[in-house]
Amino acid sequence: MYYMIDDSLSPGHKGLFAENYGTIEKLHVRGQMAVSSQDVAGFIAVNNHGTIKNCSAGSGSIDEMIFPIRYSNIISGGIAGYNYGTVEGCVNLGGITSANNSGGIVGYNAGTITKSYNTGNIYGEQFAGGITAYNEQGSITKTYNTGNITSYNGTSTGGIAGYAEGGVIENSYNTGDINGYFSTGGVVGYLDDGVIT
């Protein structure tokens, strides 16, 4: 199923689903969403507690600067803002600009992300990552990023995760350019704890 998002959904809507506790599968979203300075944004779901599988956001034929999530102060992700469940087989192709946490697949991950990838350019004020901005005890497996990742203040900038606090990152790689000022890494910007294999 294909669904088009435009700016008319903002600021009242920050994603197709505010809360997901079930299974969302084979949903493909295109369009543009501008959100206010205190919003949490994800094209598929704002908060994912269930499963999002084989979904995509963006289009390779649309330039990243035409297809961004813009100016979300708290959490922005191409697929979901917060992930406490499972994101599997998902793709983000669009650009994301956020004033705080920007992730290509999810903004904040405390669940599982697997078999997913990002090609969009990601810009964040503090934490920025190709797959997730902030990984807290989450599992990230079989993912990759090819987009350029930039953190304006450069707090934590990484090709897969900007900041990792515990959890596992395995079988994942980055080929995009990483630009930050402080904690910057090809896979993880700042590893507080956890395992990378």
Answer whether residue 175 shows pLDDT above 70.
yes
Query: What is the domain range of residue 55?
Result: 2-196
Closest Cα to residue 80, out of 53, 100, 108, 54?
Answer: 108
C-alpha–C-alpha distance, residues 128 and 162, integer Å: 5
pLDDT tens-digit readout, 141-158? 999 999 999 987 768 999
Name 169's bridge partners. 140, 196
CB 103 within 8 A of CB 81: no
pLDDT at 187: 96
Q: Domains in the chain: how many in total?
A: 1
pLDDT (tens digit per residue) in 89-132: 999 998 887 767 889 999 999 999 999 999 999 988 889 999 99
